[in-house]
């Protein structure tokens, strides 16, 4: 298999002569994500912005010869499947994919296109059974809109509960995950809500409805953007929120274009670099969650308030240490932001936290206690640092009411957006590089992705963590984050005093 300098993504889909959807939209999307797009055309549709005049499915040998030729030279990093015009095509593509995936497991995203935005049917009736039997078990994600979900599940999906039930039913039929798009019908007025059903877990991604007619090709664009992100190595949830933001940006920036007399194409406007285009991740404790059947009233957390901000959005060098002795040594060297992270607590834990709080007061530190939020409240600490898993178990309302600052760990776009909903005092992003301190190998971000995340929140206190050495610190600082957290680069340094000075020089410059 030849290495390529850009990830290769295939689109197995129909051509839209009007240039708004199908492979035309897919190729524009792949290019925006820095991927090389290849196509296997299933149908040569005759369309404009108002109607579909013909579908013109290609014969099976024409379809398979495209796929076989691509396989010989342009092996994909991900595949997006769009319009499959009849049961024969579904079966042929499924058979081809089964063999391909045995050579190498790559992500497959299927957008089960059934009806054009003009309302015209695009597939022969009765392909649903073949899709369910042969294709779904090969897919990592399917992205039906609510109408397509209804057709596949054979049940009405008029409420949030029914959408979830239908998604569960299709996952039981064999596909790994579903993203049910909500652009065509609002459960809450003014909100475009997509449901991601993955591994038995529901996530609602809420975007603001953008008024305007230029929405042709949104489904094709979304599924292609997800496939491109998967080809770039993004985890599924990150791929879904970035792709939704890409479509939202296209709707917002493309709404003023005048192309044709019907529904014009959604814009393809480059990487989504503005936070306003990213969805809110719905939290069970917020009021509107009730409308999505997602409510958990036990959690009494005041959303409007968020957590107390630190005195600066640039927290500087942020050593994470495991003893009060280290806190004192580093405070003496002028370090202002510190964390006590004790992973194997002994019987003297309370004493350690009290000692840390006392040092924090003496040196006027921004001192965060990792994990032990109850003790931190009881001892009157400056702040608490929590991981994603802690968000479910910790009493955030109690931390908020006690006036403690809160830092939250995040690993990628999805977790960043989720944690941002709580408006914590800072957001940590990791792991930037491989580290020996903790196994983060499945959650590495790198500096390019870090820079993209940092650009979304330019004025927010952001901390980068994970594998950051002195040599790597300048590249991290250049992403715009105002703080670098380190364990081994300070506590494992031959000369920690020198390491502190050198890090401070990099961050302050």
Ligand X SMILES: Cc1nc(C(=O)O)sc1CCOP(=O)(O)O
Ligand Y SMILES: Cc1ncc(COP(=O)(O)OP(=O)(O)O)c(N)n1
**Out of 22, 37, 430, 467, which residue is the one contacting ligand Y (CB under 6 A)?**
430
Contacts of 44 (CB under 8 A, 6+ apart): 14, 15, 17, 56, 58
Give the one entry of ligand X, ligand Y, Mg ion, none that residue 8 binds, where binding means its C-beta sits below a cut-off of 5 to 8 angstroms depending on kind.
none
Give the one entry of ligand Y, Mg ion, ligand X, none that residue 330 binds, where binding means its C-beta sits below a cut-off of 5 to 8 angstroms depending on kind.
none
Choose the binding region for ligand X from 104-112, 195-203, 291-299, 430-438 (rule: CB under 6 A).
430-438
Helix 349-362 / helix 324-332 crossing angle, nearest 10 deg: 10
**Cα(357)–Cα(379) distance, rounded to whole angstroms?**
7
Helices (runs of H) and strands (runs of E) counted in the chain: 18, 18
Kindly tell me which of 84 and 468 has the beta carbon lying closer to ligand X: 468
| Shortest Å, Cβ 188 to ligand Y | 32
Phi, psi values for residue 42, rounded to 5°: -95, -30
Is residue 487 marked as binding? yes
| Shortest Å, Cβ 390 to ligand X | 12
For residue 250, the cross-strand partners are none
Query: Where does residue 402 rank: exposed (0-12), middle (13-18), buried (19+ CB within 10 A)?
Result: middle
**Cα(394)–Cα(11) distance, rounded to whole angstroms?**
44
Q: Strand 36-47 and strand 52-54: pairing?
A: antiparallel
Site string for ligand Y, 387-416 (x = CB under 6 A): x-------------------x-x-------
Q: Is 487 in the site for ligand X (CB under 6 A)?
A: yes
Is residue 390 marked as binding? yes
| Shortest Å, Cβ 465 to ligand Y | 4
Site string for ligand Y, 218-257 (x = CB under 6 A): ----------------------------------------
Give the one entry of ligand X, Mg ion, ligand Y, none that residue 374 binds, where binding means its C-beta sits below a cut-off of 5 to 8 angstroms depending on kind.
none
Is residue 371 marked as binding? yes
Length of the chain: 509
Choose the binding region for Mg ion from 114-122, 254-262, 346-354, 367-375 (rule: CB under 5 A).
367-375
Nearest to 115 by CA among 126, 125, 123, 103: 123
**Cα(264)–Cα(286) distance, rounded to whole angstroms?**
35
Q: Is 386 in the site for ligand X (CB under 6 A)?
A: no
User: Which residues contact Mg ion (rule: CB under 5 A)?
Assistant: 370-371, 387
Residue ranges binding ligand Y (CB under 6 A): 318, 320, 339, 341, 370-371, 385-387, 407, 409, 428, 430, 438, 463, 465, 485
């Amino acid at each position: 298999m030849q290495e390529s300098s850009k990830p290769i993504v295939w689109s197995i889909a129909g051509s839209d002569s009007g240039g708004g959807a199908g492979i035309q939209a897919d190729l524009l999307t792949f290019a925006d994500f820095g991927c090389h797009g290849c196509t296997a055309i299933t149908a040569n549709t005759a369309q404009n912005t108002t109607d579909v005049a013909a579908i013109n499915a290609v014969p099976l040998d024409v379809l398979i010869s495209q796929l076989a030729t691509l396989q010989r030279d342009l092996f994909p990093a991900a595949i997006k499947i769009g319009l499959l015009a009849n049961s024969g095509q579904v079966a042929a593509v499924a058979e081809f994919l089964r063999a391909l995936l045995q050579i190498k497991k790559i992500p497959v995203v299927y957008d089960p296109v059934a009806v054009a935005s003009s309302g015209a049917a695009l597939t022969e009736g009765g392909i649903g059974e073949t899709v369910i039997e042969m294709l779904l078990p090969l897919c990592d994600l399917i992205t039906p809109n609510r109408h397509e979900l209804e057709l596949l599940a054979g049940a009405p999906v008029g409420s949030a509960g029914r959408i979830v039930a239908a998604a569960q039913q299709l996952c039981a039929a064999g596909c790994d995950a579903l993203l049910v798009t909500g652009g065509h019908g609002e459960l809450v007025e003014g909100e475009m809500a997509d449901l991601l059903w993955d591994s038995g877990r529901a996530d609602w991604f809420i975007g603001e409805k953008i008024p305007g007619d230029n929405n042709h090709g949104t489904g094709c664009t979304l599924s292609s953007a997800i496939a491109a992100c998967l080809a770039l190595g993004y985890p599924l949830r990150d791929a879904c929120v970035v792709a939704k933001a890409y479509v939202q940006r296209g709707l917002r920036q493309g709404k003023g274009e005048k192309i044709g007399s019907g529904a014009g194409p959604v814009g393809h406007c480059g990487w989504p670099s503005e936070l306003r285009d990213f969805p809110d991740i719905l939290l069970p404790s917020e009021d509107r969650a009730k409308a999505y059947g997602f409510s958990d009233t036990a959690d009494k957390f005041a959303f409007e308030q968020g957590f107390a901000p630190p005195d600066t959005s640039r927290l500087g060098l942020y050593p994470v240490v495991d003893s009060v002795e280290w806190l004192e040594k580093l405070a003496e060297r002028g370090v202002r932001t510190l964390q006590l992270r004790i992973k194997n607590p002994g019987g003297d834990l309370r004493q350690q936290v009290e000692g840390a709080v006392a040092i924090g007061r003496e040196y006027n530190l921004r001192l965060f206690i990792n994990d032990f939020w109850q003790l931190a409240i009881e001892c009157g600490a400056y702040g608490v640092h929590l991981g994603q898993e802690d968000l479910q178990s910790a009493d955030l309302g109690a931390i908020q009411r006690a006036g403690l600052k809160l830092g939250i760990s995040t690993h990628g776009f999805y977790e960043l957006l989720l944690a941002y909903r709580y408006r914590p005092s800072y957001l940590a992003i990791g792991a930037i590089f491989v580290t020996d301190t903790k196994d983060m190998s499945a959650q590495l971000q790198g500096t390019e992705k870090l820079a993209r995340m940092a650009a979304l929140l330019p004025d927010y206190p952001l901390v980068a963590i994970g594998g950051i050495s002195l040599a790597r610190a300048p590249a991290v600082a250049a992403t715009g984050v105002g703080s670098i957290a380190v364990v081994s680069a300070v506590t494992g340094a031959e000369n920690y005093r020198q390491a502190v000075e050198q890090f401070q020089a990099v961050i302050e410059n």
